[in-house]
């Protein structure tokens, strides 16, 4: 009888086949320490359109389309910046595991920052998540709670990217799929060593990283994306946007956001200069770079920061930020109400032109550009608001919005730090409901709700120290109850406090005489103001209602402060708001 000699390796291989595999959690517990996230990948979320049954994201065989992801610029191994965090889309081919089902795995993560950023989605049909733990290099730990909306039914307003198809074993179906970037707070200044994921069979994690704040930078100017309207179309055009700084500094960097987009946008080159007049620069505009390159492609839903540039940015001054769009741009992320004239060029790359001759077309919005940071400084105050903060009815090109007046006051004193002032007002914006859905080409540019944009427009802003929330009039004008507005404001305050921000609220100003400012709306406004003044949710109150109301008729503005539409203050009214702010209240 022939005897078989089995090698040790063969025995182990047979053992692995014959003995049921242990759970990922049990295997993790036997390892010496946390491992990189990709070592745990156990779910295949992406399939090729030619083999639509090659994935099984949700347990029914459905998956994301690799071609849709590529069309959005989300290609394997690509680094994406979303909400200031740099995350890498897994470098895996379609049909290969590219995410992990959260089961308490200990994941190796390194860095110091203000937040952990997770690229996630749920497949449970609703929100999925649970508690987790962050481990620091000094032996300490902190708890967090991570939740992810569903990949097919979650809100489009907060998604990182949306895709147009679902792949299934039976073929491709039309239907929106979503991926989300969710951040959770860290102990600031401590080095992260690892993170323990929650336990939830419906929670999928594609990437995780530490959001590292840029040390030595202060936000000087910013704006919020309110929608994604049609433009031009612009083909081989240069946009020259005029923006007004709050603080100055010896260095500059620019931020561009492809918010709400379905496809990448290419910036071929970009420059910065001090404005002389109109589209004319004072001196030759200076080129900026992006990771050493002249231009950058920004994937759908992502953002791009320019490299630091030695360029003296004066305080309280108009800058020209010019960027060339070499391809065709039929729609773009937009801040509609700039109250500032900017310019569009004739065909060609005119970003480095000092002259205004190539810029015949006036533009009164701010597309793509969302931030200007300067070197040094003590940090920034972020103003989250609606059209009154946005400057509606203020003088065009006059920089007379109340945030501009507040910034000038900070510059001209020495009692408190000279903070940068970041205006995140959007005309028409509301606290608790979206005017724009957050997806697709839009005619409405009043933005997603303050609740849905808070992470992007406040928490992710450069060097934010204090936030002022001045919203609610559009909610009550359109039938939202005081109780709903108060619940929204309370949530915003709680989320800001969890990230270490000082949170201030401004009372809602009166608007009797405007068609939607009914007696019911005014009664709800008064209830919201009573809650704000109670100090129940915020660290301080800016009583703007008391500043501009008519003492003889408190439901309306003083005529001296009314722009004429009874809703928006005039230049004089906006200045009165800014002058009423106790600057000491801004200090954390």
What is the DSSP secondary-structure string of 357-418? TT--EEE-SEESEEEEEEESSS-EEEEEESHHHHTTTSPTTS--SHHHHHHHHHHT-SSS--
Q: What is the mean pLDDT of residues 344-355?
A: 98
Provide the mean pLDDT of the chain.
94
Paired sense of beta strands 192-196 and 106-111, if any: antiparallel
Q: Any idea of the CA torsion for 323, 326, 331, 335, to the nearest 10 degrees?
A: 0
pLDDT range class, residue 32, cuts 50, 70, 90: low
Which pLDDT score, from 0 to 100, does residue 18 have? 31
CA 146, CA 134: separation in Å to the nearest integer? 12
8-state DSSP, 561: G
Which pLDDT score, from 0 to 100, does residue 33 have? 85
Give pLDDT tens digits for 456-501. Answer: 999 999 999 999 999 999 999 999 999 999 999 999 999 999 999 9
> What sign results for the dihedral spanned by CA atoms 155, 150, 467, 396?
negative
Least confident of 17-31, 146-160, 410-424, 521-535: 17-31
CA 565, CA 545: separation in Å to the nearest integer? 17
Residue 558 falls in which region: left (phi positive, over 0), alpha (psi -120 to 50) or beta: beta
Give pLDDT tens digits for 426-456. Answer: 999 999 999 999 999 999 999 999 999 999 9
Q: What is the mean pLDDT of residues 321-343?
A: 98
What's the helix, strand, coil split of the chain in %, to 5?
20, 40, 40
pTM for the model: 0.94
Q: Is the pLDDT of residue 22 over 80?
A: no
Which pLDDT score, from 0 to 100, does residue 578 have? 98
Residue 498: which H helix or E strand, with range? helix 482-498
Q: What is the mean pLDDT of residues 19-33?
A: 45
Which pLDDT score, from 0 to 100, does residue 1 have? 33
Where are the domains positioned within the chain? 10-211, 230-372, 378-588
Contact 433, 451 (CB under 8 A): no
% of the chain beyond a pLDDT of 90: 93
With vertex at residue 389, the alpha carbon angle to CA 387 and CA 391, rounded to the nearest 5 degrees, is: 70
Q: How far is residue 377 from each of residues 53, 246, 280, 315, 322, measured CA to CA in Å?
A: 54, 11, 28, 11, 25
Q: Is the peptide bond before 519 cis (omega within 30 degrees of 0)?
A: no
Q: Is the pLDDT of residue 20 over 90?
A: no
Q: Is the pLDDT of residue 363 over 90?
A: yes
pLDDT range class, residue 567, cuts 50, 70, 90: very high
Q: Is the pLDDT of residue 28 over 90?
A: no
For residue 240, count CB atoms less than 10 angstroms from its CB and return exposed for 0-12, middle for 13-18, buried for 19 or more: buried
Give pLDDT tens digits for 204-247. Answer: 999 999 999 878 999 999 999 999 999 999 999 999 999 999 99
Give pLDDT tens digits for 164-188. Answer: 999 999 999 999 999 999 999 999 8
**CATH architecture entry for 378-588:** 3-Layer(aba) Sandwich (3.40)
pLDDT range class, residue 388, cuts 50, 70, 90: very high
């Amino acid at each position: 009888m022939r005897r078989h000699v089995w090698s040790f390796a063969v025995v182990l291989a047979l053992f692995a086949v014959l003995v049921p595999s242990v759970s990922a959690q049990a295997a993790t517990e036997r390892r010496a320490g946390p491992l990189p996230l990709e070592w745990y990948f156990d779910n295949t979320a992406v399939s090729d359109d030619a083999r639509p049954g090659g994935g099984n994201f949700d347990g029914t065989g459905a998956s994301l389309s690799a071609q849709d992801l590529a069309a959005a610029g989300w290609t394997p191994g690509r680094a994406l910046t979303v909400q200031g965090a740099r995350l890498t889309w897994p470098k895996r081919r379609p049909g290969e595991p590219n995410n992990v089902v959260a089961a308490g795995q200990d994941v190796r993560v390194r860095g110091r920052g203000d937040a952990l950023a997770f690229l996630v989605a749920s497949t449970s049909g609703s929100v999925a998540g649970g508690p987790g733990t962050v481990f620091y290099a000094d032996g300490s730990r902190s708890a967090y709670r991570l939740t992810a909306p569903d990949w097919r039914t979650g809100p489009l307003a907060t998604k990182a990217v949306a895709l147009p198809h679902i792949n299934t074993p039976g073929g491709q179906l039309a239907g929106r799929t979503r991926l989300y970037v969710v951040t959770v707070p860290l102990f600031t200044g401590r080095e992260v060593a690892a993170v323990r994921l929650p336990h939830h069979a419906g929670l999928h994690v594609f990437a995780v990283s530490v959001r590292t704040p840029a040390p030595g930078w202060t936000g000087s100017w910013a704006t919020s994306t309110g929608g994604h309207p049609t433009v031009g179309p612009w083909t081989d055009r240069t946009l020259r946007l005029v923006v007004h700084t709050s603080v100055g500094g010896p260095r500059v960097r620019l931020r561009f956001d492809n918010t709400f987009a379905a496809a990448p946008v290419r910036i071929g080159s970009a420059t910065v200069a001090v404005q002389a007049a109109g589209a004319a620069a004072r001196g030759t505009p200076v080129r900026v770079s992006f990771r050493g390159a002249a231009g950058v492609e920004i994937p759908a839903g992502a953002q791009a920061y320019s490299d630091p540039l030695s360029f003296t940015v004066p305080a309280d001054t108009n800058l020209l930020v010019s960027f060339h769009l070499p391809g065709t741009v039929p729609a773009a992320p937009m801040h509609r109400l700039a109250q500032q004239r900017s310019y569009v060029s004739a065909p060609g790359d005119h970003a480095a032109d000092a002259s205004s001759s190539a810029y015949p077309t006036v533009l009164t919005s701010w597309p793509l550009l969302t931030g200007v940071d300067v070197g040094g400084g003590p940090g920034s105050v972020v103003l989250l608001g609606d059209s009154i903060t946005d400057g509606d009815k203020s003088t065009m090109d006059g920089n007379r919005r109340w945030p501009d007046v507040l910034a000038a006051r900070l510059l001209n004193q020495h009692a408190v730090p000279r903070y940068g002032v970041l205006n995140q007002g959007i005309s028409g914006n509301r606290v608790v409901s979206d005017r724009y859905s957050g997806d697709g080409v839009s005619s409405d540019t009043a933005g997603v709700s303050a609740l849905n944009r808070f992470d992007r427009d406040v928490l992710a802003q450069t060097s934010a120290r204090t936030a002022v929330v001045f919203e609610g009039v559009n909610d009550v004008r359109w039938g939202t109850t005081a109780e709903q507005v108060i619940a929204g404001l309370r949530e915003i305050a709680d989320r800001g406090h969890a990230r270490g921000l000082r949170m201030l609220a401004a009372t809602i100003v009166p608007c009797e005489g405007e068609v939607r400012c009914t007696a019911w709306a005014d009664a709800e406004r008064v209830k919201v103001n009573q809650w704000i003044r109670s100090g129940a949710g915020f660290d301080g109150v800016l009583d703007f209602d008391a500043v501009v109301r008519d003492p003889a008729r408190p439901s309306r503005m003083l005529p001296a402060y009314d722009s004429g539409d009874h809703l928006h203050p005039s230049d004089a009214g906006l200045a009165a708001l800014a002058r009423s702010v106790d600057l000491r209240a801004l200090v954390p």
